[in-house]
Structure 1
Amino acid sequence: MKKYILFIVILASAFAKAQDTPISAFLEKWENSKNYLLEMAAAMPEDKYDYKPTERQKTFRDQLLHIKSNMDWLSGRYFEKDETKERKEETYTTKAEVMKAITEGFDNTAKIIKTATPEELKDMVPFFAGQKTKLQILNLLQDHVTHHRGQLIVYLNLNGIKPPKYRGW
């Protein structure tokens, strides 16, 4: 009986460890990041989607679409191995279209990343900033969203809109 219980504990521990990989951790954070960004997108009134604090900055809409195009490019080029994948910022005219595009971008990236293996994250890939591992590209995916989301918090505050409450995980 003790051997049986020990076997179950070891099996459960192994299963739990298998679930706690950089990929599973990324996917958990990625879903939260999507929801947090969508809350920000929803908080900004549609008539403020063309707002930009200064002439050299992107509009609120353009920031969101830049986030989407970057995630499409990084996940497609480096995880789907589509060497022809280029950054392409599409035009969406309504708030609903932008929010739908953001959702699709996050969901498509998650679908692509789910096919990666922990071993694959060690692979080196050519990047404009020099050779990087796929793990570094994975980190860049989230870091880029965070960078632009921080800018969007400022846009909301400058318009007197309280940003959604931050949550880290």
Structure 2
Amino acid sequence: MKNLRSILTICGLLMLSNSIIAQGLNNEVVKANMIVDWERAKLYTREYLDAMPEDGINFKPIPDLRSFAEQMLHMSQGTIGLISSGTGANPIYQGKVLEKADEFKNKAALTKVVMECYDYAIQSIRNMDASKMDSLIKRGNYETDQFGWLNKAFEHQTHHRAQTTIYLRLKGIKPPNEKLF
């Protein structure tokens, strides 16, 4: 009976350790895929920035909407905050409301800050401990795991980049082709 308990205990520990190892490997794969997706999103967004001429950077389809620059800056600020929540990385541009900063509302400065925010996201994910992706993080009224915050960050940047499609079309510019892979 004692040997049977020992064998069952050892089997249980082996199954538990295999589960933990498999979870760690899965988190590393998820992390690697996220990095690839963020790198692709960065290139895609760069195509949007490159497509808009200087005279369209502050274009608003109607007065009560954000300008093209404000959309991109809002997207970038959201990326910083959500990625910080998802990775624990120290946010860049602390104390600045990017969307309101006139210094970033020209093509060169806008492109620079948006690309820096993508680099921040990519580097923060690269440096995070993937084994903690299921750790719960509370931010304001919201609580989800690190993985959830990273997904929200990607969703947010996709949403705001997509909104600028109409800005390009209204300026007579064909938006960049979709980049799923």
TM-score bin, normalised by smaller chain: 0.7 to 0.9
1:133 aligns with 2:145: yes
Q: 1:40 aligns with which of 38, 43, 48?
A: 48
Measure the CA separation in 2 of the matches of 1:63 and 1:31: 20
Q: Which structure 1 residue ranges, 5 or more long, are not aligned?
A: 1-13
Measure the CA separation in 2 of the matches of 1:87 and 1:153: 26
For residue 77 of structure 1, report the CA deviation from its aligned partner: 4.1
TM-score scaled by length of structure 1: 0.81
Amino acid at match of 1:70: G
Match of 1:3 in 2: none
For residue 87 of structure 1, report the CA deviation from its aligned partner: 7.0
How many residues end up aligned between the 2 structures? 153
Classify 1:51/1:69 alpha carbon distance in 2 versus 1 (closer, same or farther; 3 Å): same
1:65 aligns with 2:73: yes
Amino acid at match of 2:31: I
SS in 1 for 2:33: helix
Amino acid at match of 1:88: V
SS in 2 for 1:125: strand
Q: How well do the aligned residues superpose, as a CA RMSD in angstroms?
A: 2.3
1:166 aligns with 2:178: yes
Match of 1:88 in 2: 97
Say if 1:78 and 1:137, in contact at 8 Å, map to a contact too.
Answer: yes
Say which one has the larger Rg: 2
Q: Which structure 2 residue ranges, 5 or more long, are not aligned?
A: 1-21
% identical aligned pairs: 26
Match of 1:122 in 2: 134
Measure the CA separation in 2 of the matches of 1:31 and 1:75: 14
Q: 2:111 aligns with which of 78, 83, 99?
A: 99
